[in-house]
């Protein structure tokens, strides 16, 4: 068998003085001989055990080994660009090759085009009970049980991740054809793992990691949904920031929440945020306006009814709101207006988590989170006998107070901008610019109807906006009207002998505000700035 057939392209012997004592094949090329005689190149190649000789027409990989004082240079063959870069740039390239050839967890077998074994890794030899080099030169089918390497050489088609039974054990193998100048010259087989059990274990681990990633992705998505729900509560005032913080704290807790505040403050937005940020987010949020329910229909609406239970009833019966909210959240808006006789039945549902439909006697279990809202002072309603004390305790483990618009006047510009964008989309108009004096006008007004009233006022003005601008003149309340000047008041510090110090201070504070209102023609913004107080505090004191 010639050297060329063994893949050796040339051979050279270098004596201790550095001179070539023998050369043959590619090593006889004068350019190669000159490189092999270079002491610097030879020293580096000997240290790495591999060297590269780059010529104009070929690049050679050279194996350099020492035998006593003589060095042997073996020309292994021409190097492609990838292998050339590997050997040039990786100083420990030979160590990597050694690892690949001897790795106990990644056995290797190589055959040539004649289906003969030309290399069997040590771990494979041990597995098959072969002595070192014993399998080389033999037909692969005579050495490796159930092999298909010879088939890969014939077809040139790789087989990846296949199960192969050898010596009674199943292993996962990959087989790849090796090509040179486009022709299949051999094949390499590698045992990727000890057995399919290890692959299965890895697969389970990958699946676990994928599930964890999906969980984190869903959590991030739900967090984004929750934050979007909070952003629907428009504003950046301290009052709104505090409100959002309360929602974040209580939303994950599966306890009843009572939202308490004046009409028009946005209690339904809070209920929606509480639901979206809870563990029940994937189920329904069922809203019930208790104040809008006719007294005679409250029970059937809340608890449902059986077929034919009363005149006009649906013949199929109907689910009540609590059953509709099963596994989700039920939002009882204006719960303070619920009839007292229904409150006792609601209390039972909250205690037992069971409903009975009108006209039926079968208890039905329900799982829900209760969120209630009211614009009433329920403690006063309890004292007046209009609301059950035990029900009040049930619905109010956590109370969220809603700030009035007067307590968050600094949010008006953001609210107006949001309303204008919504209205522009609703009416198919361009979003108008809002004149700055509009904000001044709106922040100086009292808002007994809170955010709902503000939106109504802005919508009415928006209808009359023209030429891409929302002007003060569009607000019918202000157009062409002159605000009355408040009467000037003389500030007098009264004798406090007839009352407490607090009374005297209150009178003095009131007089200062009255004088400032007169001085600034009722401009509350300027009055508040002049007195160094907030506009919400000014509104509060003027309303007393």
Which helix (H) or strand (E) segment holds residue 184: the answer is strand 183-191
Query: For residues 248 and 257, is the Cβ–Cβ distance under 8 A?
Result: no
Q: Which residue has the higher pLDDT, 137 or 509?
A: 137
Q: How far apart are CA 276 and CA 285, in angstroms?
A: 9
Q: Which residues contact 456 (CB under 8 A, 6 or more apart)?
A: 449
DSSP for 65-107, written as a single string: EEETTEEEEEEEEE--HHHHHHHHH-TTHHHHHHHHHH-TTS-
Return the number of other C-beta atoms located less than 10 Å from residue 117's C-beta: 24
- CATH of segment(s) 233-401: 3.40.50.300
Confidence at 328, pLDDT banded by 50, 70, 90 = very high
- Identify the weakest region by mean pLDDT among 228-237, 338-347, 400-409, 480-489: 480-489
Query: For residues 187 and 149, is the Cβ–Cβ distance under 8 A?
Result: yes
What's residue 486's pLDDT?
Answer: 36
Q: How far apart are CA 106 and CA 395, in angstroms?
A: 65
The residues pairing with 139 across neighbouring beta strands, listed in sequence order, are 116
Q: Which residue has the higher pLDDT, 186 or 494?
A: 186
Report for 165-179, 359-373, 468-482: range of highest mean pLDDT = 359-373
Pairing relation of β-strands 469-470 and 257-260? unpaired
CA dihedral 275, 278, 280, 284 (to 10 degrees): 10
Confidence at 68, pLDDT banded by 50, 70, 90 = low
- Phi/psi of residue 476, each to 5°? -60, -25
How far lies 298's CA from each of 140, 387, 423, in Å?
A: 85, 16, 35
pLDDT at 496 over 60: no
Q: Which residues contact 272 (CB under 8 A, 6 or more apart)?
A: 229, 232, 285
What's residue 492's pLDDT?
Answer: 45
What's residue 203's pLDDT?
Answer: 58
Q: Give, in words, the CATH class of 10-95.
A: alpha beta
Q: Which residue has the higher pLDDT, 515 or 544?
A: 515
Predicted structure pTM score: 0.52
- CATH of segment(s) 103-194: 3.30.450.20
How far lies 77's CA from each of 8, 20, 92, 404, 476, in Å?
A: 6, 20, 20, 86, 94
What's residue 2's pLDDT?
Answer: 43
Report for 12-16, 27-31, 92-96, 275-279: range of highest mean pLDDT = 275-279
pLDDT at 285 over 90: yes
Q: SS3 breakdown of the chain: % helix, strand, coil, rounded to 5?
A: 45, 20, 35
Burial of 208 (0-12, 13-18, 19+ CB in 10 A): exposed
Average pLDDT over residues 93-107: 74
Q: Which fold has domain 496-543?
A: Arc Repressor Mutant, subunit A (1.10.10)
User: Which one, of 252, 253, 341, lies nearest residue 302 by Cα?
Assistant: 341
**Which residue matches tokens 């601008």?**
469
- Identify the weakest region by mean pLDDT among 49-63, 359-373, 376-390: 49-63
- CATH of segment(s) 405-474: 1.10.8.60
Q: Which residues contact 205 (CB under 8 A, 6 or more apart)?
A: none
Q: Which residue has the higher pLDDT, 18 or 88?
A: 18
Q: What is the mean pLDDT of the chain?
A: 82
pLDDT at 411 over 90: yes
Pairing relation of β-strands 368-374 and 257-260? parallel
Average pLDDT over residues 460-466: 88
Average pLDDT over residues 495-520: 68
Confidence at 367, pLDDT banded by 50, 70, 90 = very high
- Phi/psi of residue 224, each to 5°? -65, -40
Confidence at 251, pLDDT banded by 50, 70, 90 = very high
Report for 237-251, 307-321, 328-342: range of highest mean pLDDT = 237-251
Domain ranges of the chain: 10-95, 103-194, 233-401, 405-474, 496-543
pLDDT at 194 over 70: no
Query: For residues 176 and 158, is the Cβ–Cβ distance under 8 A?
Result: yes
User: Which one, of 437, 432, 523, 445, lies nearest residue 472 by Cα?
Assistant: 437
Q: Helix, strand, or coil here: 109?
A: strand
Q: How far apart are CA 424 and CA 463, in angstroms?
A: 10
What's residue 238's pLDDT?
Answer: 95
Instruction: Return the structure tokens found at 244.
Output: 């959002």
Percent of the chain, pLDDT > 90? 33
Identical topology for domains 10-95 and 103-194: yes
User: Which one, of 107, 97, 100, lies nearest residue 193 by Cα?
Assistant: 107
Q: Which residue has the higher pLDDT, 103 or 248?
A: 248
Query: For residues 163 and 174, is the Cβ–Cβ distance under 8 A?
Result: no
Confidence at 504, pLDDT banded by 50, 70, 90 = low
Return the number of other C-beta atoms located less than 10 Å from residue 85's C-beta: 12
What's residue 206's pLDDT?
Answer: 64
User: Which one, of 260, 233, 537, 513, lies nearest residue 407 by Cα?
Assistant: 537
pLDDT at 144 over 50: yes
Q: Which residue has the higher pLDDT, 497 or 451?
A: 451
What's residue 193's pLDDT?
Answer: 53
């Amino acid at each position: 068998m010639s050297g060329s057939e063994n893949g050796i392209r040339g051979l050279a012997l270098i004596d201790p003085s550095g001179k070539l004592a023998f050369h043959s094949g590619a090593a006889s090329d004068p350019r190669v001989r000159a490189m092999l005689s270079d002491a610097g190149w030879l020293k580096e190649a000997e240290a790495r055990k591999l060297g590269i000789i780059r010529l104009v027409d070929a690049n050679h990989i050279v194996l350099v080994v020492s035998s006593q004082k003589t060095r042997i240079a073996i020309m292994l063959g021409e190097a492609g660009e990838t292998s050339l870069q590997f050997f040039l740039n990786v100083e420990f390239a030979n160590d990597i090759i050694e690892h690949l050839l001897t790795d106990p967890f990644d056995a290797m077998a190589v055959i040539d085009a004649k289906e003969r074994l030309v290399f069997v890794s040590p771990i494979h030899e041990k597995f098959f009970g072969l002595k070192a080099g014993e399998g080389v030169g033999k037909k692969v089918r005579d050495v490796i049980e159930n092999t298909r390497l010879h088939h890969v050489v014939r077809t040139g088609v790789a087989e990846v991740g296949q199960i192969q039974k050898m010596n009674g054990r199943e292993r996962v193998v990959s087989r790849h054809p090796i090509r040179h100048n486009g022709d299949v010259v051999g094949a390499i087989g590698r045992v990727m793992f000890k057995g399919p059990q290890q692959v299965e274990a890895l697969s389970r681990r990958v699946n676990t990691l994928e599930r964890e990633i999906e969980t984190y992705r869903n959590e991030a998505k739900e967090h984004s949904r929750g934050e979007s729900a909070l952003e629907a509560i428009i504003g950046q005032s301290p009052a709104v920031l505090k409100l959002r913080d309360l929602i974040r704290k209580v939303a994950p807790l599966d306890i009843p929440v009572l939202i308490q505040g004046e009409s028009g403050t946005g209690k339904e937005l809070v209920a929606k945020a509480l639901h979206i940020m809870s563990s029940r987010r994937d189920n329904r949020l069922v809203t019930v306006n208790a104040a809008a329910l006719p007294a005679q229909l409250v029970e059937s609406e809340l608890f449902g009814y059986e077929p034919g239970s009363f005149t006009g009833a649906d013949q199929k019966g109907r689910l009540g709101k609590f059953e509709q909210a099963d596994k989700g959240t039920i939002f009882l808006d204006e719960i303070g207006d619920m009839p007292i006789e229904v409150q006792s039945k609601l209390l039972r549902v909250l205690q037992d988590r069971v409903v009975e439909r009108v006209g039926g006697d079968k208890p039905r279990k329900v799982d829900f989170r209760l969120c209630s809202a009211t614009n009433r002072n329920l403690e006063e309603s309890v004292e007046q006998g209009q609301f059950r004390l035990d029900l009040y305790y049930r619905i109010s483990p956590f109370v969220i107070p809603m700030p009035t618009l007067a307590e968050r006047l600094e949010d008006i510009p953001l609210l107006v901008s949001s309303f204008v964008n919504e209205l522009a989309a609703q009416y198919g108009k361009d979003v108008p610019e809002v004149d700055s004096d509009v904000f001044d006008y709106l922040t100086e007004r009292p808002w007994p109807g809170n955010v709902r009233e503000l939106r109504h006022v802005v919508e009415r003005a928006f209808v009359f906006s023209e030429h891409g601008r929302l002007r003060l003149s569009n607000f019918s309340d202000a157009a062409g009207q002159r605000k009355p000047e408040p009467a000037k008041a003389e500030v007098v510090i009264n004798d406090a002998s007839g009352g407490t110090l607090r009374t005297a201070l209150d009178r003095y504070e009131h007089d200062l505000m009255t004088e400032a209102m007169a001085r600034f023609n009722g401009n509350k913004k300027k009055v508040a700035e002049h007195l160094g107080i907030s506009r919400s505090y000014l509104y509060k004191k003027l309303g007393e």
